[in-house]
Amino acid sequence: MELLHDLGMGFFHVFQSFDFLMLVVGLLVGMAVSIMPGLGFVMGVVLALPFTYKMQIEPAVILLTAIYFSGTYGGAFTTILYRIPGEPSDVPLLWDGYVMARKSGPAKPLGWALVAALAGGLASSVVMVLLAEPLTAIALKFNSEDYFAAIFFGLTTVVSLAGKSLVNAVISLCLGLLVACIGVDSTYGVNRFTFGVPVLGDGVQLVAVLVGMYGLGEVFKRLGQGLALDNTHAATGKVQTHFPSLREIWQIKGTLLRSSAIGTLLGIVPGAGATITSFICYGTEKQYGRRRTQLGTGMPEGIVAPQIGSTASVAGHMIPMLTLGIPGSAATAVILAAFLLHGVQPGPMLLTDPTSHQVVYTIFASMFVSIIGMCIIGFFWIRLVVKVLTIPQSVLNAVVVLFCLIGAYASRNSMSDVWMIVVFGVLGYLFEKFNFPISPLVLGAILGPIGENNFMRSMIINHNDWTMFFRQPLSGSLMAASLISILYPLLKPVVRSLLGRGKPA
């Protein structure tokens, strides 16, 4: 009953005028940026972050979470209508969604995508609310060794899932940890890596890292590719959504349940973003689905599985961020930064502290409202939303750069932050150009200080005995899991080759 009371109070706060306005704005922004190829919901969350400085924590996080949620769904429009994935996570949706649109028109596949987004979002949000309190109770028993091991596991998981090159991912993570070290040492109070530059004494602002790497970096990348991308497509006036019947939905109940579970569980794993989740959900359906042999020919299961996985991963990513303070994706890393900018530290104390307890349930309630609002917008306003595609790339790039620079200056009213964001923008461009993943650097910059503080505290308490990280049950298990996550990409090809040799010719 207490859970329902807290959630009810959360809904009360969500429907306050300003909070609800931020939710609607977030849903529209998330739809718009996810539709535009090359932008994406992560950039939408990043660009919105500077505008939350003067807000209270509730509307700030509601805005960012709404962008995140609707962004996982908005890309389905262009994927199905124009064969242009708005997000990397929309690629599996393309294989059946666009084919069905060519066969029977876009209304039916858009309806299936809407049902999938609704089912995945609601299922994962319910799981999030139910797991928050138990996970918090477990997290309260963590000591500094356990916290460091949990953060180490999160970072190594991000590295192992970052891409094909493990070396590039490790380099990216190390650079992020190096950025986190700039400024005054929290243990000994000495300057590190400031090189006599006074402004670096306060460290590097997270806003500069996030907006520079994801915002300016993407613009520089597109400028390097030229502005030849044409955003003008077929007329959008006749676009509409047609809901499937209850009988049709019941026929794919296995896909709904299976993909919702996979999306939520994978969302809890740090680094397993919406892209990985949607591919795994589609692959699972391809292996175990009732009509697996027909996937790729315009089947509803091929639309529902990746869309559910993508949307369900959002609430899954929020679980470790809120209960442990470990972001599960790039977007939740930005939301974590919003908490920190407002002086709130996500983690087990967030739910137990009376001053921040209601903030969490307001966020929970906003996610349920966001799902419903996202589907309403997707059904009634789709014609308006897809008109965003007619904006020229040159105008879009200029707007993104303007928002990035204004956001950088607004953080501390300092031109040094503007130059800092340009530096990280160039770095983000170089990362994209040479195939270095950005997520490890960003998560390293965010989690580095937290991990360092817990590491130093453990070493001081245990008289520099580093074996304590391996001798305690929980921290030892997490460290072992971290080693496995690092070694898995290295050993996987070896195991495959050995199994291949063992097969008869």
| Closest among 340, 208, 211, 320 to 271, alpha carbons compared | 320
Amino acid at 359: V
Residues of the chain short of pLDDT 70, as ranges, are 1, 36-39, 82-88, 139-140, 161-164, 225-241, 269-273, 275, 381-391, 407, 410-412, 499-505
Q: What is the distance, to the nearest Å, from the Cα of residue 93 to the centroid of all Cα atoms in its chain?
A: 18
Q: Are strands 183-184 and 191-192 parallel, antiparallel or unpaired?
A: antiparallel
What does the pLDDT read at residue 85? 66
Report the SS3 class of residue 150: helix
Task: Output the pTM of the full model.
Answer: 0.70
What does the pLDDT read at residue 234? 44
What does the pLDDT read at residue 405? 80
User: Measured between alpha carbons, how far apart are the two ends of the chain, in Å?
Assistant: 64
What is the Cβ-side half-sphere exposure of residue 108, based on CA atoms within 13 angstroms? Answer: 17
- Sorted by sequence, the CB contacts under 8 Å of residue 408 that are 6+ apart come out as 50, 207, 208, 211, 212, 417, 418, 420, 421
Distance CA 76, CA 85 (A): 7
What does the pLDDT read at residue 385? 59
DSSP labels for 437-465?
-SHHHHHHHHHHHHHHHHHHHHHHHTTT-
| Closest among 88, 84, 77, 82 to 110, alpha carbons compared | 77
What does the pLDDT read at residue 21? 93
Distance CA 115, CA 76 (A): 12
Q: 């529209």: which residue's tokens?
A: 28
Ranges of each domain in the chain: 2-489
Distance CA 462, CA 12 (A): 47
